[in-house]
Structure formats: structure tokens, C-alpha cells
Amino acid sequence: MMLESDPHRLVEGIAIASYAIGASTAIVFFRRGSEHARQRLQKAIDSARDYGLLGHNVFSSGYNLDIIIRKSQVHSFVARKQH
């Protein structure tokens, strides 16, 4: 899973995609039970913010981006219709 092996890659992808569509906020949803991956992603987000890749006026470009982590309220099951 990329979140556990290289969460910085996900942060980079979110930043590129957000810039491409002009979004200033990106939200990542986690299901319950994903605490380890959530913590790793939060550390990567914090590192990117400290480096200047996230936040207000990214690299003096006038672009603002924040990545927010939220826990999903959706249950982790799939219902299938029987034929």
C-alpha cells in the first residue's frame, strides 16, 4: 500500500492534481482501522508543510493548498444485488 510505503508520493500527487484543477483544499478520507496509514500520511503532510510545499503562498507562487485528513463515517461493506 502506497500510504504505508511512500506517503510523500501521495502528497505530491495530491498537490499536483489540486494545482491542476485550482483547488485550495484537498480532503483524504480514511476508514476506521487505518490508523497506521493515517499517521504516516499526516507526518508526510506536516513535512511538506514545513518545507513550503503546502500552506499559504506555496513557494511564493500565490497558490494556497491545504490537505486535510478526515475519518470516514461510511461503513466498510459493499451490498450486492442477487440475480
Q: What is the pLDDT of residues 49-58, one digit of tens each?
A: 999 999 999 9
- Determine contact, residues 41/8, Cβ cutoff 8 Å: no
Q: What is the pLDDT of residues 28-65, one digit of tens each?
A: 888 777 788 889 999 999 999 999 999 999 988 999 99
What is the DSSP secondary-structure string of 28-55? EEE-TT-HHHHHHHHHHHHHHHHHTSSB
